[in-house]
Amino acid sequence: MGSRAQVHIKDTGVYLYTHWGADSIEQKVTQAISRGQRWGDPEYLARIIFDEMKGSNIKSETGYGIGTSQHGDIEKIIGVSCKEQTIYVMEMYGNYEIRSYKFIDCLTDNSDDAPKPAGYTVADFLTDTMQNHFGGQS
């Protein structure tokens, strides 16, 4: 069945997909962000995150993908907003946990006390994600 997850780059609408990496996707994203590179450039940051997701698995034809829509069968979605410098995490199964933290917290490892973004809120992310996940029904 897999352990599916996606990273949504909010600034570009791109979704990065992993078939087996839901358990480690948040760690992979925070590792990519912790490099401190290209935080204001969503296209380059997407590539940095995707490289971290794939690791040394660069020649396989399966396991990873790039798209423009959210899959309906994912276990976890990570939203990344360069504009807000914020990461949103939503567990799609179980307790539907949702949390957010700032990019800078990836450097300081203080994500539990992260301030909420000024513009795009966790509620906004939850609404967008649920509408995508359930076909327009929230």
| pLDDT tens per residue, range 9-46 | 999 999 999 999 999 999 999 999 999 899 999 999 99
CB 26 within 8 A of CB 89: yes
**How far is the C-alpha of 129 from the C-alpha of 113, rounded, in Å?**
23
Pairwise pLDDT comparison (2 vs 82), residue with the higher score: 82
Q: The pTM is what?
A: 0.78
User: Can you give the pLDDT at residue 104?
Assistant: 87
User: Can you give the pLDDT at residue 110?
Assistant: 40
| pLDDT tens per residue, range 88-130 | 999 887 767 788 989 988 875 444 444 334 455 556 666 666 6
Long-range CB pairs of 122-128, under 8 A, 24+ apart, other chains included? 122/88, 122/98, 125/79, 125/88, 125/90, 125/98, 125/100, 126/90, 126/98
Long-range CB pairs of 89-92, under 8 A, 24+ apart, other chains included? 89/26, 90/125, 90/126, 90/129, 92/133
User: Can you give the pLDDT at residue 135?
Assistant: 54
Domain ranges of the chain: 5-132
| pLDDT tens per residue, range 41-86 | 999 999 999 999 999 998 999 999 999 999 988 999 999 999 999 9
Helix, strand, or coil (residue 115): coil
User: Can you give the pLDDT at residue 99?
Assistant: 87
pLDDT band at 138 (very low <50, low <70, confident <90, very high): very low
Which tokens sit at 111? Answer: 């994500």
Q: Which residues contact 59 (CB under 8 A, 6 or more apart)?
A: none
CB 30 within 8 A of CB 87: yes
User: Can you give the pLDDT at residue 93?
Assistant: 79
**How far is the C-alpha of 61 from the C-alpha of 115, rounded, in Å?**
39
Residue with tokens 């995490």: 89
